[in-house]
Amino acid sequence: MENNYFVDSEKLSEAALKRKHELEADPSCRTDHMKYMEGMERISSDIYDKVISEMKSYDYSRYTAADVRRALVHESCTAEDFKALLSPAAEPFLEKMAERARLETQKHFGNTVYLFTPLYIANYCENYCVYCGFNCYNDIRRMKLSMEQIDHEMKVIAESGMEEILILTGESRAKSSIEYIGEACKLARKYFRMVGIEIYPVNTEEYRYLHECGVDYVTVFQETYDSDRYEQLHLLGHKRVFPYRFESQERALMAGMRGIACSALLGLSDFRKDALASALHVYYLQRKYPHAEISLSCPRLRPIINNDEINPLDVHEKQLCQILCAYRIFLPFCGITVSSRESESFRNGIVKIAATKVSAGVSTGIGDHESKYTGKEADSAEGDEQFEISDGRSLGKMYSDMTNEGMQPVLNDYLYV
């Protein structure tokens, strides 16, 4: 990636603008999105073929009300049952699905809800993903926190009472190296009991190094499991390589990570097929790595700079609720995270039915926790946010609200000896 592709208070160079327009206009200018780039590790696994083949063959229009009724009375939900529960035929059964999901959640998780917060430490990115606020062609304020700034941000967050943090960066090895991320994770261990990362995909040995630095779990969004749509949305950078991204969670588990999370960004493509693929990805990983803690996230596409260019497919709250209930019935032991992209009222309700984890005190910007948590003016410049959030409650407010909803908020359930 040429340095002039980064936008940081300066406009794009003529060469970068020309390249951007070429990538948008002519698919032949783009690299093969199914071909691994130099340095990308290949692993031997059959999970990819299983998930993608089942997703491609999924015809949700063929399922009927009778299929949905059968799925709801079965003691164990099969993959075929799950497909019925995701179908349009299941929409009239949402109340029954919610009741079944609630019983499964209570059986395996009680009334607990886990709280965490994300910390973005850099927003430089080498990818051109047309829907993302961080993409390398967007004219935003770029920033990378120093270790001193990261330590300060973490201290502010920890003083709020938070015990679990998710560290995020833009996808740039040049600006956010593995060593840089590793040092940030070591700092996080000073303040937090649980440390997760959501960064660019890396090889097994690099995940192993980050695990040694204190990382407990890895989250990777596949964005969409539709490889054709994926190619249309990811025009440049390492993220363009579809199979390498798909295999990220398995490489992390091979490296010894305690847990991983899978997700599609609902609205980028056919949300029913993406929901099916996300859950099957988890399903097969659970069977191959039964010791691991495997979870699902379920974000919907939020307003972003290029919203009008990608023709997002709306996923309404009732449809999201249907997906979450189907997830819980199919994967009763799986953690389910609902992010601050969703409204306060939706998150208050869904934790009683299917979700087990929510974020609090959220910022998707860089270096702004002190200003947002304490109201004090930041000592240095702040980097722009990746997307707009909907639920901006603090940890204290979230804890109080969850308690008032009859839930038991949990900040950490691990003891390290």
DSSP letter at 235? E
**pLDDT value at 401 more than 70:** yes
At 135-147, the pLDDT tens digits run 898 888 899 999 9
At 210-236, the pLDDT tens digits run 999 999 999 999 999 999 999 999 999
Provide the whole-model pTM.
Answer: 0.92
Helix/strand/coil for 53: helix
**pLDDT value at 2 more than 50:** no
Closest CA to 192 of 220, 216, 168, 219: 216
C-alpha distance from residue 262 to each of 142, 286, 388 (Å): 27, 12, 21
**What pLDDT, on the 0 to 100 scale, is given for residue 416?**
64
Across 8-27, average pLDDT: 77
In which residue are the tokens 């160079």 written? 13
Across 326-331, average pLDDT: 98
One-letter amino acid of 316: H
At 151-188, the pLDDT tens digits run 999 999 999 999 999 999 999 999 999 999 999 999 99
What residue segments make up the domains of the chain, in order of their start? 3-410
Question: Who contacts 275 (Cβ-Cβ below 8 Å, separation ≥6)?
Answer: 86, 264, 266, 298, 323, 326, 327
Least-confidence region, from 56-65, 92-101, 313-322: 313-322
Across 377-406, average pLDDT: 80
Least-confidence region, from 130-139, 229-238, 265-274, 365-374: 365-374
- CA–CA separation, 132 and 387 (whole Å): 8
If pLDDT is split at 50, 70 and 90, which confidence band does 100 have? very high
DSSP run (H or E) holding 195: strand 194-198
Give percent of the chain above pLDDT 90.
78
Helix/strand/coil for 5: helix
Question: Which string of DSSP letters, residue by residue, matches 257-294?
Answer: -SEEEEEE-BTSS-HHHHHHHHHHHHHHHHHH-TTSEE
Of 313 and 345, which is predicted with more confidence?
345
Q: In this structure, are residues 305 and 293 in contact, taking their beta carbons and an 8 Å threshold?
A: no
Q: Are strands 408-410 and 234-236 parallel, antiparallel or unpaired?
A: unpaired
Least-confidence region, from 55-69, 161-175, 346-360, 370-384: 370-384
Query: How far apart are the two ends of the chain, measured CA to CA in Å?
Result: 44
Tell me the CATH architecture of domain 3-410: Alpha-Beta Barrel (3.20)
Of 49 and 309, which is predicted with more confidence?
49
The 3-class SS string of 103-125 reads: HHHHHHHCCEEEEEEEEEEECCC
**What pLDDT, on the 0 to 100 scale, is given for residue 402?**
97
